[in-house]
Chain A
Amino acid sequence: MTFTPMNIVLLGVIALLGVGFYGLLVTRNLIKVVMVLQILIKGAITALVLAGKLSGNLGLGQSTAATVIVADTIVAVVGLALAVQVRRRFGTLDVPKISTLRG
């Protein structure tokens, strides 16, 4: 495998997505969940730009990425705000413990 710039970016994307998925699989702390979710989304954004470059539509890829950045900032803000409220109300940030949904 040659280390062309494209391959390096691709490896970066895979690494970010892998860290994100792994984090989501094992994390129980709500703040950490928001953090790993951000890592995952950053990987996805990089992938968008990469896909734009590879298909010759760099502008499209970048503008989509910019849109996702805006959306995921909102996700982060709401998620952290929720975390603050959850901490106040339940006294814990452990996700399984705050699950009141009765199946």
Chain B
Amino acid sequence: MAGILVVLVILLPWVGALAVWLAQNRQPKLQHTLAVIFSVLAALASILLLGDATSDPVIQISLGSAFGELTFVPDGLAVSLTAIATVIGSLAVIFSMEYMRGDEQLGRYYFLVLFFIGAMTGLVLSGNLLFTFFFWEITALCSYGLISFYNDDPKAVAGGIKALIITQVGGVGLLAGTLVAFTALGSFQISDLLANSSALPAASLAFIAFSFLIAAAAKSAQFPFHSWLPDAMEAPSPVSALIHAATMVNAGIYLLARFYPAFEFVPGWRTSVLLVGAISALIASLSALVATDLKRVLAYSTVSQLGYMVYAIGSGSVLASQYHLLNHAFFKALLFLAAGSVIHSVGTRDMRRMGGLRGKMPFVRNVFIIGALALAGVPILNGFWSKELILEVSLENSPLWIHVLMLAGVGLTAFYTFRMIWLVFFGQERDALHYHPAGSPMKFSLAILAVGTFTTWLLFGGLSELLASTLPYHDIEVASTAELVTALLSAPATWFTLVIVAVGFAICWVRARGYRLFGGGWLTPLVESSFGFESLNQWIVRGVSTSAERLRATQTGELNWNIFGIFGGLLLVLIILWLGVK
């Protein structure tokens, strides 16, 4: 049964992708329907799969000595991420029915979206590292195609290429780590790596650990690779929701969570993970303070929340990171889709032109505020519980100064969240924009996500049991939701954090009263250069293109010179062979 479900979860989106593509762009209605049917079916299959979680491979296909066995292991980590990817993915597809209505290239859009969802499920379910890498690369390509979806807009194309190049750095890291693991172990199986990690030579294990850290940081837009995610905002809003909540960036967190038991004792690895998470969270929340583009603020908030997840893994709590990932998926998808319906309605992403929208779009305003409060970590909403859990577990397991940085990040999050709400929905109308209310597909997706934002924290008990019972190498404590609630409410740290959130709100309130929400002072130039990393990127790009320009001189296109080159190469090989024989 589990085997069939695994096949269904991966193949349903892919078959759907083909079906939408074959339906042709002349039949947009059919394309919408097909995409929704296939994505919802995949979501249902993944929910059924939650009940069949097991730590043993359910599908084993032998691929000969070079590739090992293709296995699929639906363990707790995999099935929970699969469920998130397909459920959020199907809601984004339903949302797209309205958002993308009238677009002339629906086939390409839905093909990439569905292919993306299928690849993400394959990535987390695969028990073979080589196939994890294949799926990883498919998600990178799909994200490129979707970020550059409006390919007549040079900014969208540039953003897509940037995302592709930076995440490729991560892909190379993953491949390098995979190949080193294969040379050391003779197997691509993830379970072999987890089981025999202590038997590996220390240098190989360290290499694998840091390669995978690079891969995860690039994929999850963490320091120093964080600059691609804000530029990915040129994508249609449902795609942003998909990338930020359901697929793509979760892959990096998955990789770290998956291999945490193997790399835990590699010297320096945990400290590096902690630092990557903390620096990303802090840099991103500082950037969000001054951003004026609504989606950019959300993008920075994603980088910062992912930083909290990475930080949780670094402090040893895979459960807390996965719990935050689940909750983050819901409130971030809600925020992106709500922001999408605002943008769809008023036709701009610039918050300086919005304002005073509160009476015009009451439903969207309400759900947006719910999502934003969850992001800020206001009690009862799901973001509160998981963020508090992360801060609670890391209090003992990470250096205090990093913990203080993360607490500062909480205050900053409260500040920019409140600023965002204020600028979009409150205050005065700053520009005469044309409004129209959200339609029913949008409202449907938003309503489900809003309900999820209120309730997913109740799944903590189930999640901890699922992870603990199916992950033999991870050391996960089973705890019920009630235990989590009592533990967090009785901890002084929780109340301290709440005070910080309140201070963040209060400062923003004071500034909002004085209409001082735009000037960033010294922060603005820093953010615009993305803390110097943009110039680093530019420097690398310039270096590559200059050296390519120089090497062009060797491409004369003249036969005789090419033959000369071949002859020289032949001589070189012969000399090397001769030296080898001697």
Residues of A within 8 A of B (CB): 21, 24-28, 33, 95-96, 99, 101, 103
Chain A residues whose C-beta falls within 8 Å of the C-beta of B552 in the assembled complex:
103
Stretch at the interface among B153-161, B326-334, B508-516, B553-561: B553-561
Chain A residues whose C-beta falls within 8 Å of the C-beta of B558 in the assembled complex:
95-96, 99
For B556, B557, B559, B563, which residue has the most chain A Cβ atoms within 10 angstroms? B563
Interface residues of B in 555-582 (CB under 8 A from A): 555-560, 563-564, 567
| Sampled A-B contacts (5; CB under 8 Å) | A25-B564, A95-B558, A95-B559, A96-B558, A103-B555
Interface of A is mostly: helix
Q: Which of A24, A96, A99, A101 is the one whose CB lies under 8 Å from B563? A: A24
Asked whether B557 lies within 8 Å of A99 as measured between CB atoms, the reply is yes
For the complex of A and B, 4 pairs with smallest distance between CB atoms? A24-B563, A101-B557, A95-B559, A99-B557
In chain B, what residue has the closest Cβ to A33? Answer: B559
Q: Which of B555, B556, B557, B567 is the one whose CB lies under 8 Å from A25? A: B567
Asked whether A24 lies within 8 Å of B560 as measured between CB atoms, the reply is yes
Interface of B is mostly: helix
Residues of B within 8 A of A (CB): 552, 555-560, 563-564, 567
Q: How far is the CA of A103 from the CA of B555 in the complex (A)?
A: 7
Chain A nearest CB, measured from B12 CB (Å)? 46
Chain B residues whose C-beta falls within 8 Å of the C-beta of A21 in the assembled complex:
563, 567
In chain A, what residue has the closest Cβ to B552? Answer: A103
Asked whether B559 lies within 8 Å of A103 as measured between CB atoms, the reply is no
Chain B residues whose C-beta falls within 8 Å of the C-beta of A101 in the assembled complex:
557
Asked whether B560 lies within 8 Å of A26 as measured between CB atoms, the reply is yes
In chain B, what residue has the closest Cβ to A17? Answer: B570
Chain A nearest CB, measured from B182 CB (Å)? 33
Q: How far is the CA of A84 from the CA of B53 in the complex (A)?
A: 68
Chain B residues whose C-beta falls within 8 Å of the C-beta of A33 in the assembled complex:
559
Known: A25-B563, A96-B558. 15 other contacts (CB 8 A): A21-B563, A21-B567, A24-B559, A24-B560, A25-B560, A25-B564, A28-B559, A28-B560, A33-B559, A95-B560, A96-B559, A99-B558, A101-B557, A103-B555, A103-B557
Q: How far is the CA of A103 from the CA of B561 in the complex (A)?
A: 14
In chain A, what residue has the closest Cβ to B567? Answer: A21
Q: How far is the CA of A73 from the CA of B559 in the complex (A)?
A: 21
Q: How far is the CA of A37 from the CA of B562 in the complex (A)?
A: 14
Asked whether B564 lies within 8 Å of A103 as measured between CB atoms, the reply is no
Chain B residues whose C-beta falls within 8 Å of the C-beta of A99 in the assembled complex:
557-558
Q: How far is the CA of A96 from the CA of B557 in the complex (A)?
A: 8
Chain B nearest CB, measured from A67 CB (Å)? 22
In chain A, what residue has the closest Cβ to B559? Answer: A95
In chain B, what residue has the closest Cβ to A21? Answer: B567
Chain B residues whose C-beta falls within 8 Å of the C-beta of A96 in the assembled complex:
558-559
In chain A, what residue has the closest Cβ to B570? Answer: A21
In chain B, what residue has the closest Cβ to A23? Answer: B563
Asked whether B560 lies within 8 Å of A103 as measured between CB atoms, the reply is no
Chain B nearest CB, measured from A99 CB (Å)? 5
Chain A residues whose C-beta falls within 8 Å of the C-beta of B557 in the assembled complex:
99, 101, 103
Chain B residues whose C-beta falls within 8 Å of the C-beta of A28 in the assembled complex:
559-560
Q: How far is the CA of A84 from the CA of B552 in the complex (A)?
A: 31
In chain B, what residue has the closest Cβ to A37? Answer: B563
Q: How far is the CA of A33 from the CA of B557 in the complex (A)?
A: 15
Chain A residues whose C-beta falls within 8 Å of the C-beta of B559 in the assembled complex:
24, 28, 33, 95-96
Chain B residues whose C-beta falls within 8 Å of the C-beta of A27 in the assembled complex:
560
In chain B, what residue has the closest Cβ to A102? Answer: B557
